Amino acid sequence: MNSEPDSNDEIDLDDSDQVFKSANPSRGNKSRRIIPAEKLIEKESQGLEYRQFLGLILVVGFLVIGSAAGTYAVLDSLMNVPCLGCLGLYPNVDLEFTFDTVDGKPHPGYVLEALKDGPVFIEFTQRDENCPPCGRMRPKVEELEDEFSEQVVFFIINVDENEISKIFQGEKQTDPLITEKDSYHVYDIEKIAGGLIATPTYIIITLDQATDGTVRPSFAVGYGEFEEEDAQKTKDVLAKTLEYALTMYIHYREMYIA
C-alpha cells in the first residue's frame, strides 16, 4: 500500500520522469528520485562545517609540527608571526593593486610621508633561523634595493629585531619599531594568517586615479615566496610590480595632494 511521502524522505517522481526517459533512453527504467531542497541545504551545511573543521585541523597540525621542529617564529612567537613558507603556503603570483585598505583604515603616516618622494616598498621579515624563506629572499630584496632605491622608498620591518630600516637614494636609516608594525594590518587584505603578521610579506604602494577623478594611494600585497623555494621568481614578480608602480607614480604625482 502506498502512503503519503514524508517531507524528509526522497520523493519518487515517476510521472514526470517519463518525459525525461523518452529523451534519455540510456537511463533505462529507473525512476528519478529527488532530495527536498531543505535536505540538500542541511547536507551542504554539514559538508561546509566539516570542511571548515578539517581546514582548522590541518592548520593546527602545521603549527604543532612546525613548533616541534623549530621551523618558524615564536615571537611571543609563533602565535604572533607565522612563517608562511615554513607552513607550505605560497599564495599569489599576480599582484593586483587596490585602493581599499583593511576596514578602510588610513594609510600610516610614514607611508604618506614617503609617498612625497616616490613609490613605497615594505617588507615584513624575520631572522633567517625563524623564517628560511625570509633568508632566501634577503639577497633578492637587496638586489631590488640596488635597482630601484633611487626612486622607490624601501622599508624593511624586522619583527624579530623590532626595528625598521629605511633605504632611499643610497642612505640607510634604522630605527626601533614604534607603530610601524601595525601598518601590516592596514594592508593585509587576504588575512592569510588569520589577522596575525605573516612573513615574508611585501607591500608596494603607489599613486593611481580613482573613478571619482581623485589621485590616491593604491597598493598591492604579495605573501610569501610565490613558488616553493623560488626566490628568483618572487624577485622577478616584485621587480615587474615595482616598474608598474613607478610608472603610475610618475604619471600621477603632479595631481596628488598629500
Residue 30 pLDDT: 39
Cα dihedral: 41, 44, 46, 51 (round 10): -160
Give the residue numbers spanning the domain of 37: 7-69
Q: 54 falls in which pLDDT band (50, 70, 90)?
A: very low
Judgement on whether residues 136 and 30 belong to the same structural domain of the protein:
no
- Which strands make up the sheet holding 153-158, listed edge to edge? 171-176, 163-168, 153-158, 120-125, 201-209, 215-223
Judgement on whether residues 115 and 30 belong to the same structural domain of the protein:
no
Q: What is the DSSP letter of 2?
A: -
Residue 40 pLDDT: 39
Cβ contact 200:123 at 8 Å: yes
Determine, yes or no, domain membership for 2: no
Judgement on whether residues 224 and 174 belong to the same structural domain of the protein:
yes
Judgement on whether residues 93 and 218 belong to the same structural domain of the protein:
yes
Residue 56 pLDDT: 45
Strand partners, 207: 217
Q: Going by C-beta distance under 8 Å and a sequence separation of 6 or more, which residues neighbour residue 115? A: 153, 205, 207, 217, 256, 258
Is the confidence at residue 115, as pLDDT, over 80?
yes
Residue 227 pLDDT: 59
Determine the Cα–Cα distance for residues 153 and 166; give it in Å rounded to an integer: 7
Residue 95 pLDDT: 84
Determine, yes or no, domain membership for 74: no
- Percentage of the chain beyond pLDDT 70 is 62
Judgement on whether residues 241 and 143 belong to the same structural domain of the protein:
yes
Judgement on whether residues 19 and 91 belong to the same structural domain of the protein:
no
Select the more confidently predicted residue: 38 or 241: 241
Cβ contact 126:158 at 8 Å: yes
Is the confidence at residue 38, as pLDDT, over 60?
no
Give percent helix, percent strand, percent coil of the chain, each to the nearest 5.
40, 20, 40
The residue whose grid cell reads 529527488 is: 34
Determine, yes or no, domain membership for 170: yes
Q: How many domains does the chain have?
A: 2
Judgement on whether residues 244 and 126 belong to the same structural domain of the protein:
yes
What CATH number corresponds to the domain at position 192?
3.40.30.10
User: CA nearest 242: which of 90, 95, 98, 111?
Assistant: 95
Containing 187, the helix (H) or strand (E) segment is: helix 184-187
Give how far Cα 245 sits from Cα of 96, 107, 185, 220, Å: 11, 17, 21, 9
Judgement on whether residues 125 and 209 belong to the same structural domain of the protein:
yes
The residue whose grid cell reads 528519478 is: 32
Average pLDDT over residues 207-216: 93
Judgement on whether residues 32 and 137 belong to the same structural domain of the protein:
no
Q: 228 falls in which pLDDT band (50, 70, 90)?
A: low
Residue 31 pLDDT: 39
Determine, yes or no, domain membership for 130: yes
Judgement on whether residues 112 and 153 belong to the same structural domain of the protein:
yes
Judgement on whether residues 122 and 21 belong to the same structural domain of the protein:
no
Average pLDDT over residues 219-246: 85
| Mean pLDDT value across the chain | 73
Judgement on whether residues 171 and 222 belong to the same structural domain of the protein:
yes
Q: 9 falls in which pLDDT band (50, 70, 90)?
A: very low
Determine the Cα–Cα distance for residues 50 and 87; give it in Å rounded to an integer: 22
Residue 80 pLDDT: 47
